[in-house]
């Protein structure tokens, strides 16, 4: 509990700063505009800034949830939407949606969902064929992601009029997010967050060992499908509404676990909050440097991933001796 | 048998590359005059040649990386080498920086930085998988830099972006071929000089030591030369994703892990993929690197799943 | 309580258990003994429903395991398996709480608060002091006791233990076995253990089942079946067996590998 409340405050502050960024408004004016009034300030805050902030927070929370689920269920500290093929599959789906000319974010979410299931399904297949040591599976996941990203790029170039959105899809960005994106995002966010929270106990059990899970009474395969579907759902909706915010889903669960340990009932909401805060912070930096937000998270996340890969490799090899 | 088949395939691919496209140029007219001649000589021939050169260089470089690191997945795309070179060149192009020797020198510098970052990050990690994951993380960060640069510059030139993300041969002219040819002519002898030590390195560090070879130093030399090869290619065509993985794999599948065959397969693969990229969705031209990425990675996943199953649990 | 009929298990082409039938009465303590690889751990896993047999049926309280859900099985059978991988940052009390899943369900577990069974299990295994320690930081013995607490927290009438005394020093071995005996007597638990130490098996178990190459070689009360012939036939050692003055149970000492 002790970290949840401070993290809510941190996230709220970051979100407020993000709201102010680029609007050249004093905090007071912005607050006033947020809660009423009219005129250009209200217009800017409510129509332009607020959806951007909300979509970013929502997508970050989704990725935090997805990362927590993937890492505990696959028992792999390196698992995240990026290294499981789920994220790139979802992006591919969303790009397919734009390629066939769908405009509504909802259709994009649905196709992203299908793409995410494709990516996750292939990884599942490979894992069941060859067994799953964490590092080996992560390498396959990276390859799978590279393949799906290649397919995405082919699609983007096949329709040159879409190529302008290339950066958006490949690293993720919050530019031009509208209330429509938010309304496509929030129902899935609620389902994902609530669903994942309700099954946190199962996540904790699955994180130990299949035999252990069966012994205490968890039917492993059905539950694993359920929780992985929640991960695919949250990843896909984030991908469809913001593009690939690279490495947020890897970073947030690690930070959460480092702070509160492995009690998923606390770690999961905390990871969602940290995901949201990370995206808000990245977007603040990104807007000040006119970068895409995903580029910022990619660089920050790469550092964390390197650290974790080293620790995991040391632990695995050490364990085998 | 295989050699004969390959020779026929090569001839078919070369003639096909010269013939197909708009306008279609029949075999009998390839060397006739007129506008068709110009298309063949000025557009298709340099593109074909650059494809052959680039593929060959990537094939050899990939083999060198994999043998010296003894890891079948040690590919330029997962070691930060391609990523660094591509990011450096993109930055120069989209910001319109005038750098002497562009794009060659920025590519070499970028490859060096990318490889250096990976080496730095890898220190203390154990095992091939961790190395690859760390390299992949570095590559992802470098790709983010590339994309960020193009976003910063508000570049409308998506062709540049596609080229340096995945690789493309679009718009090649004889000047490119000339520069790449000269650069490769300089680097290739170095690569040939590396081959003997490569054979020893493949057997392991202890074998290398007993053969009187300083494994560490030899590895650095081999890696440097392969980075040079990769940088030359990336500077002009982008990474042409996963050729450095596919070509040595094919060579190995046919029982010859030699640099020569890896070069041949690399060259043929790039030409074949480029031909496909130009024709499958005609008139839309796909990025050749997209095709090679999809095919290359599919092969990679198969290789990995097979490799593991052989080891008894 | 437990009836296993004609259990056959194959790993690939190797037959690990070949039509093994075992019955355990309510409140009885049965010890499975045999050499490494004779199939005793496999049999235990089959009884716990962790491994579906290729052939044969296991009934717990009259119901075939196949007809029961995982949770229903876990409410009837708790197992302490041979090993458990590292569990990350999990604390002992978190681990023990997972034993309550079968009873409380995924939603019931969301609430905070330790229930009585959890507390009793931790008190019985003397891990209350370790409640907030991380499982991965414990010594081998402490870890084994924490895992036993997990199994006890399931509060199931059947307790299966796969080498519960590994990692434990003599004193803790004794404590664990005495604890299991007390629970068996007080709560009428049905206990099946895989034990390596034949003297221990003979001392604590009501009945011994000796497995050899995937079939039941001998079974019966310890004082009837444990003798030099058993040592030779089942374990491949020459040894002596005598009755302990204090307990009246057979004791063994092993002198040489038999040819």
Q: Which of B127, B150, B286 has its CB closest to that of A167?
A: B150
The reply to whether residue A214 touches residue C101, judged by beta carbons under 8 angstroms, is no
Interface test mutation site (partner A, options C78, C98, C143, max chain A beta carbons within 10 A): C98
Backbone angles phi, psi at B101, to 5 degrees: 75, 15
Q: Which of C70, C85, C89 has its CB closest to that of A257?
A: C89
What is the helix (H) or strand (E) element at residue B97, kind and residue range? none
Q: Which of A215, A216, A263 has its CB closest to that of C94?
A: A263
Mean per-residue pLDDT for C183-190?
Answer: 91
Give C49's contacts in chain A (Cβ within 8 Å).
Answer: 214
Backbone angles phi, psi at A28, to 5 degrees: -65, -50
Interface test mutation site (partner A, options B75, B168, B297, B299, max chain A beta carbons within 10 A): B297
CA distance A246 to B132: 18
pLDDT tens sequence across C100-131? 999 988 888 887 777 888 999 999 888 999 99
Tokens at A72, concatenated: 């505990």
* Per-residue model confidence (pLDDT) at position B313: 31
- Average the pLDDT over each of A35-39, A196-200, A279-283, C7-11 and give the range with the smallest value: A35-39
pLDDT tens sequence across B115-160? 999 888 888 777 777 888 888 889 889 988 888 887 777 656 677 7
Give A265's contacts in chain C (Cβ within 8 Å).
Answer: 110
Query: Nearest CA to CA, how far is C105 from chain A (Å)?
Result: 9
Nearest residue of chain C to residue A217 (CA atoms): C71
Within 13 Å of residue C247, how many CA atoms lie on the same side as its CB? 16
The reply to whether residue A208 touches residue C84, judged by beta carbons under 8 angstroms, is yes
* Per-residue model confidence (pLDDT) at position B85: 93
For C86: left if phi > 0, alpha if psi spans -120 to 50, otherwise beta; the answer is beta
Say if domain A4-320 classifies as CATH 3.40.50.300.
Answer: no
Residues of chain A with pLDDT > 70, as a percent, come to 94
**3-class DSSP state of B181:** helix
How would you label C108-143 residue by residue, b for 16+ Cβ within 10 Å and e otherwise? ebeeeeeeebbbebbebbebeebbeebbeebeebbb
Backbone angles phi, psi at B30, to 5 degrees: -55, -35
Mean per-residue pLDDT for B84-90?
Answer: 91
**3-class DSSP state of B2:** helix
Mean per-residue pLDDT for C21-39?
Answer: 92
Nearest CA among B114, B73, B74 for reference residue B90: B114
Please tell me the CATH code under which domain B2-308 is placed: 1.10.3470.10
Q: Calculate the average pLDDT of chain A.
A: 86
* Per-residue model confidence (pLDDT) at position B154: 65
Confidence of residue C236 (pLDDT cuts 50, 70, 90): confident
Q: Which of B125, B133, B285 has its CB closest to that of A138?
A: B133
Confidence of residue B307 (pLDDT cuts 50, 70, 90): low
The reply to whether residue A147 touches residue B147, judged by beta carbons under 8 angstroms, is no
pLDDT tens sequence across B96-115? 777 777 788 899 999 999 99
The reply to whether residue A150 touches residue B78, judged by beta carbons under 8 angstroms, is no
The DSSP annotation for chain C comes to -EEEEEEEEEETTEEEEEEEEEEE-TT-EEEEE-STTSSHHHHHHHHTTSS--SEEEEEETTEEGGGS-HHHHHHHEEEE-S-----TT-BHHHHHHHTTHHHHHHHHTTS----HHHHHHHHHTT-GGGTTSBGGGS-HHHHHHHHHHHHHHT--SEEEEESTTTT--HHHHHHHHHHHHHHHHHH--EEEEE-S-HHHHHHH-SEEEEEETTEEEEEE-HHHH-SHHHIIIII-EEEEEEE-TTT--EEEEEEEE--
Give A314's contacts in chain B (Cβ within 8 Å).
Answer: 124-126
Nearest residue of chain A to residue B298 (CA atoms): A147
* Per-residue model confidence (pLDDT) at position C7: 93
The reply to whether residue A171 touches residue B313, judged by beta carbons under 8 angstroms, is no
Q: Which residues contact residue B183 at a Cβ distance below 8 angstroms, ignoring those fewer than 6 apart?
A: B104, B232
Nearest CA among A141, A85, A143, A119 for reference residue B293: A143
Q: Which of C70, C72, C89 has its CB closest to that of A261?
A: C89
Give B289's contacts in chain A (Cβ within 8 Å).
Answer: 150, 153
The reply to whether residue A212 touches residue C110, judged by beta carbons under 8 angstroms, is no
Mean per-residue pLDDT for C157-175?
Answer: 89
**Subunits close to A (at least 3 CB pairs below 8 A):** B, C
A251 in reach of chain B (CB within 8 A): no
Query: Nearest CA to CA, how far is A321 from chain B (Å)?
Result: 13
Residue carrying the six token digits 């409140």 = C27
The reply to whether residue A130 touches residue B148, judged by beta carbons under 8 angstroms, is no
* Per-residue model confidence (pLDDT) at position C89: 79
* Per-residue model confidence (pLDDT) at position A175: 86
Mean per-residue pLDDT for A70-87?
Answer: 85
More confident residue, A139 or C51: C51
- The interface predicted TM-score of the complex, written ipTM, equals 0.89
Contact residues, chain A to chain C, C-beta under 8 Å: 75, 197-202, 204-205, 207-209, 211-212, 214-219, 257, 261-263, 265, 315, 319
Q: Which of A200, A208, A215 has its CB closest to that of C50?
A: A215
A167 in reach of chain B (CB within 8 A): yes
The reply to whether residue A289 touches residue B121, judged by beta carbons under 8 angstroms, is no
Q: Which of A171, A290, A313 has its CB closest to that of B125?
A: A313
CA distance C71 to C79: 13
Q: Which residues pair with C218 in a beta bridge?
A: C210
For C9: left if phi > 0, alpha if psi spans -120 to 50, otherwise beta; the answer is beta
CA distance B216 to B211: 13
The reply to whether residue A150 touches residue B297, judged by beta carbons under 8 angstroms, is yes
Residues of chain A with pLDDT > 90, as a percent, come to 38
Confidence of residue A164 (pLDDT cuts 50, 70, 90): low
A and C adjacent (3 or more CB pairs under 8 angstroms): yes
Give A216's contacts in chain C (Cβ within 8 Å).
Answer: 74, 98-99, 101-102, 150, 154
A150 in reach of chain B (CB within 8 A): yes
Nearest residue of chain C to residue A315 (CA atoms): C86
Nearest CA among C161, C132, C158 for reference residue C147: C161
* Per-residue model confidence (pLDDT) at position A318: 42
The reply to whether residue A201 touches residue C85, judged by beta carbons under 8 angstroms, is no
Nearest residue of chain A to residue B147 (CA atoms): A167
Interface test mutation site (partner B, options A160, A302, A312, A316, max chain B beta carbons within 10 A): A302
Q: Which of A215, A257, A319 has its CB closest to that of C81?
A: A215
Nearest CA among A284, A50, A287 for reference residue A180: A50
Any idea where the domains of chain A sit in the sequence?
A: 4-320
C and B adjacent (3 or more CB pairs under 8 angstroms): no
CA distance A127 to A76: 12
The reply to whether residue A216 touches residue C101, judged by beta carbons under 8 angstroms, is yes
CA distance C118 to C99: 8
Q: Which residues contact residue B224 at a Cβ distance below 8 angstroms, ignoring those fewer than 6 apart?
A: none
Query: Nearest CA to CA, how far is C72 from chain A (Å)?
Result: 7
CA distance C244 to A41: 93
Cβ atoms of C121 and C101 within 8 Å: the answer is no
Nearest residue of chain A to residue B135 (CA atoms): A306
The separation between CA A246 and the C-alpha centre of its own chain, rounded to angstroms, equals 8
Nearest residue of chain C to residue A257 (CA atoms): C89
For B212: left if phi > 0, alpha if psi spans -120 to 50, otherwise beta; the answer is left
A171 in reach of chain B (CB within 8 A): yes
More confident residue, C89 or C21: C21
Query: Nearest CA to CA, how far is A185 from chain C (Å)?
Result: 26
CA distance C138 to C133: 7
Size of interface A-C (CB pairs under 8 A): 83
Confidence of residue C49 (pLDDT cuts 50, 70, 90): very high
Using CA atoms, how far residue C175 sits from B133, C164, C169, C251, in Å, is 47, 11, 10, 19
pLDDT tens sequence across B230-280? 999 999 998 888 899 889 888 887 777 788 889 999 999 999 999 988 888
The reply to whether residue A262 touches residue C150, judged by beta carbons under 8 angstroms, is no
Nearest residue of chain A to residue B164 (CA atoms): A153
Q: Would you give the DSSP letter of residue B285? A: P
* Per-residue model confidence (pLDDT) at position B309: 45
A89 pLDDT higher than 60: yes
Query: Nearest CA to CA, how far is A61 from chain B (Å)?
Result: 22
pLDDT tens sequence across B174-226? 988 999 999 999 999 999 888 888 888 888 778 878 877 787 888 888 889 99
Other CB atoms closer than 10 Å to residue C230's CB: what's the count? 21
A241 in reach of chain B (CB within 8 A): no
Any idea where the domains of chain B sit in the sequence?
A: 2-308
Query: Nearest CA to CA, how far is C99 from chain A (Å)?
Result: 6
Query: Nearest CA to CA, how far is C226 from chain A (Å)?
Result: 32
Q: Which residues contact residue B210 at a Cβ distance below 8 angstroms, ignoring those fewer than 6 apart?
A: none
pLDDT tens sequence across A196-253? 999 999 999 988 888 899 999 999 888 988 998 999 999 999 998 998 888 899 899 9
B57 pLDDT higher than 60: yes
Mean per-residue pLDDT for A174-189?
Answer: 91
What chain C holds in terms of domains, given with CATH numbers, is: 2-85+156-257 (3.40.50.300)
* Per-residue model confidence (pLDDT) at position B95: 83
Tokens at A37, concatenated: 């009034």
* Per-residue model confidence (pLDDT) at position A321: 28
**3-class DSSP state of A246:** coil
């Amino acid at each position: 509990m002790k970290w949840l409340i401070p993290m809510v405050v941190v996230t709220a502050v970051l979100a407020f700063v993000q709201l102010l960024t680029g609007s050249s408004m004093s905090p007071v004016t912005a607050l006033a505009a947020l809660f009423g009034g009219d005129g250009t300030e209200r217009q800017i805050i409510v129509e332009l800034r607020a959806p951007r902030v909300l979509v970013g927070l929502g997508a970050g929370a989704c990725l935090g949830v997805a990362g927590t689920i993937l890492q505990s269920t696959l028992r792999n500290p390196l698992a995240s939407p990026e290294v499981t093929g789920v994220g790139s599959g979802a992006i591919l789906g969303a790009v397919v949606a734009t390629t066939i000319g769908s405009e509504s974010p909802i259709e994009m979410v649905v196709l992203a969902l299908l793409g995410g299931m494709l990516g996750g399904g292939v990884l599942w297949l490979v894992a069941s064929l060859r067994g799953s040591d964490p590092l080996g599976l992560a390498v396959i996941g990276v390859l799978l992601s590279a393949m799906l990203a290649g397919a995405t790029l082919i699609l983007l170039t096949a329709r040159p009029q879409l190529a302008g959105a290339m950066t958006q899809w490949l690293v993720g960005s919050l530019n031009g997010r509208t209330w429509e994106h938010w309304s496509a995002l929030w129902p899935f966010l609620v389902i994902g967050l609530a669903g994942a929270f309700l099954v946190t106990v199962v996540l904790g059990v699955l994180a130990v060992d299949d035999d252990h899970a069966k012994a205490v009474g968890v039917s492993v395969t059905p539950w694993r499908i359920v929780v992985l579907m929640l991960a695919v759902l949250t990843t896909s909706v984030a991908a469809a509404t913001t593009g690939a915010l690279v490495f947020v889903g890897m970073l947030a669960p690690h930070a959460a676990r480092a702070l509160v340990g492995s009690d998923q009932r606390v770690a999961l909401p905390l990871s969602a909050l940290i995901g949201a805060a990370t995206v808000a912070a990245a977007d603040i930096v990104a807007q000040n440097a006119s970068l895409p937000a995903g580029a910022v998270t990619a660089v920050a996340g790469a550092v964390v991933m390197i650290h974790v890969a080293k620790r995991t490799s040391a632990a695995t090899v050490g364990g085998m001796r | 048998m295989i050699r004969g088949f390959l020779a026929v395939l090569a001839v078919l691919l070369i003639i096909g590359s010269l013939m197909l496209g708009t306008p279609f140029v029949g075999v009998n007219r390839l060397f006739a005059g007129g506008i068709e001649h110009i298309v063949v000589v000025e557009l298709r021939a340099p593109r074909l040649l650059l494809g052959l050169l680039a593929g060959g260089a990537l094939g050899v470089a990939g083999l060198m990386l994999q043998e010296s690191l003894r890891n079948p997945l040690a590919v330029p795309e997962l070691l930060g080498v391609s990523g660094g070179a591509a990011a450096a060149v993109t930055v120069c192009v989209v910001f319109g920086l005038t750098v002497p020797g562009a794009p060659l020198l920025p590519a070499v510098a970028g490859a060096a930085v990318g490889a250096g970052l990976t080496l730095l990050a890898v220190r203390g990690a154990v095992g091939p998988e961790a190395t690859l994951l760390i390299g992949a993380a570095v590559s992802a960060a470098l790709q983010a830099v590339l994309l960020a640069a193009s976003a910063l510059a508000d570049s409308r030139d998506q062709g540049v972006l596609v080229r340096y993300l995945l690789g493309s041969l679009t718009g090649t002219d004889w000047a490119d071929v000339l520069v790449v040819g000269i650069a490769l002519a300089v680097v290739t002898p170095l690569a040939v000089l590396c081959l003997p030590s490569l054979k020893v390195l493949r057997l392991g560090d202890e074998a290398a030591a007993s053969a009187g070879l300083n494994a560490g130093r030899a590895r650095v030399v081999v890696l440097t030369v392969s980075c040079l090869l990769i940088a030359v290619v990336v500077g002009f065509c982008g990474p042409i994703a996963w050729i450095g993985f596919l070509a040595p794999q094919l060579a190995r599948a046919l029982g010859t892990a030699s640099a020569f065959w890896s070069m041949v397969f690399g060259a043929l693969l790039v030409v074949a993929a480029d031909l496909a990229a130009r024709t499958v969705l005609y008139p839309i031209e796909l990025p050749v690197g997209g095709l090679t990425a999809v095919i290359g990675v599919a092969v990679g996943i198969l290789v990995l799943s097979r490799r593991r199953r052989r080891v008894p649990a | 309580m437990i009836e296993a009929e004609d259990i056959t298990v194959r790993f690939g082409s190797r037959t690990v258990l070949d039509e093994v039938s075992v019955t355990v009465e309510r409140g009885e303590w049965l010890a499975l003994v045999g050499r490494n690889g004779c199939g005793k751990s496999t049999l235990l896993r089959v009884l716990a429903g962790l491994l579906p047999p290729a052939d044969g049926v296991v009934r717990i309280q009259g119901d075939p395991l196949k007809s029961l859900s995982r949770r229903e099985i876990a409410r009837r059978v708790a197992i302490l398996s041979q090993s458990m991988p590292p569990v990350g940052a999990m604390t002992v009390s978190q681990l023990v709480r997972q034993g309550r899943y079968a009873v409380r369900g995924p939603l019931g577990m969301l609430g905070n608060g330790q229930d009585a069974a959890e507390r009793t299990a931790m008190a019985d295994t003397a891990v209350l002091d370790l409640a907030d320690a991380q499982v991965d930081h414990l010594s081998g013995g402490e870890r084994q006791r924490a895992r036993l607490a997990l199994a006890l927290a399931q509060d199931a009438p059947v307790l299966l233990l796969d080498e519960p005394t590994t990692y434990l020093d003599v004193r803790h071995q004794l404590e664990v076995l005495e604890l299991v005996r007390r629970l068996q007597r007080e709560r009428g638990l049905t206990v099946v253990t895989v034990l390596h130490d034949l003297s221990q098996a003979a001392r604590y178990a009501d009945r011994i089942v000796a497995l050899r190459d995937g079939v039941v070689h001998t079974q019966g009360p310890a004082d009837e079946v444990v003798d030099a012939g058993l040592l030779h036939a089942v374990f491949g050692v020459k040894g002596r067996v005598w009755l302990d003055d204090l307990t009246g149970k057979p004791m063994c000492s092993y002198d040489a590998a038999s040819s």
